Amino acid sequence: MDELIQEFATVFTVVDPIGTVPVYLAVTALLAPEKRRSVAIKATLVAAGVLIGFLVLGQLVLDAIGIQLADFQIAGGIILFLFALSMIFGHAKQETETEAIPRSDVELAVYPLAIPSIAGPGAMLSVVVLTDNRTHPVMDQVTTGIIVLAVLSITLALMLAAGPIQRLIGNAGAAIVSRVMGLILSALAVSTVITGIESRFGLG
């Protein structure tokens, strides 16, 4: 039981359902309520597909093409940092781009919500490590998959409840939250890159 609780805490931390809410609010700020719900559901499904895919095949694919987990972590941290910058500098540029190039629900759901916000590099790496074929039997890997789906269900529930939150704080409040979370995400991205570098070159 202790191992299950620890594993759930690990997955919950790396997926970060609470931290996903401000990202969701920022991405869907200009959408109607129906489209917001659609984006939330599709983002959760995409993230589930990605994380379960990494759970089943991630280790085999990375080993097959010779990519170390640390390399993947560094690349993911850089991508996360670039997204964090877009949150910090606000919606003015994003709104212009949205008007010039309309994005579908699926496009918004895939980036930046499903990847890298929900199924980020930390989450992908964690499911690979938690289901290491050399140390974990099949049943343990199935249990990890169930835990991942449970955390994603919590994430979806929080996103669906984000609409009333945005109506309460207004667009100005949502913009403030977006910038603050952008700063936090940028710090997390830097930490992810540093951790990957330390692991890659044995500096830890």
Dump pLDDT digits (tens) for 6-57. 889 888 877 888 878 878 887 887 888 889 999 999 999 999 999 999 898 8
Provide the pLDDT for residue 97: 36
Question: Taking 90 as the threshold, does the pLDDT of residue 191 lie above it?
Answer: no
CA distances from 196 to 83, 131, 191 (A): 19, 19, 9
**Nearest by Cα to 54 from 5, 126, 113:** 126
Domain boundaries, the chain: 21-197
CA dist., res. 51 & res. 40, Å (int)? 16
Identify the band that residue 144 occupies on the pLDDT scale cut at 50, 70 and 90.
Answer: very high
Q: Over range 165-182, report the average pLDDT.
A: 73
Question: Taking 80 as the threshold, does the pLDDT of residue 80 lie above it?
Answer: no
44-48, 58-62, 157-161, 198-202: the lowest-pLDDT one = 58-62
Question: Taking 60 as the threshold, does the pLDDT of residue 101 lie above it?
Answer: no
**Nearest by Cα to 165 from 64, 24, 51:** 24
Percent with pLDDT over 90 in the chain: 21
Residue with more model confidence, 146 or 16: 146
CA dist., res. 194 & res. 204, Å (int)? 10
Q: Over range 168-192, report the average pLDDT.
A: 76
**Nearest by Cα to 40 from 125, 144, 117:** 117
Question: Taking 70 as the threshold, does the pLDDT of residue 171 lie above it?
Answer: no
Identify the band that residue 143 occupies on the pLDDT scale cut at 50, 70 and 90.
Answer: very high
pTM attached to this predicted model: 0.70
Provide the pLDDT for residue 92: 39
CA dist., res. 70 & res. 96, Å (int)? 36
Q: How does the average pLDDT of the chain come out, rounded?
A: 81
Q: Over range 116-133, report the average pLDDT.
A: 80
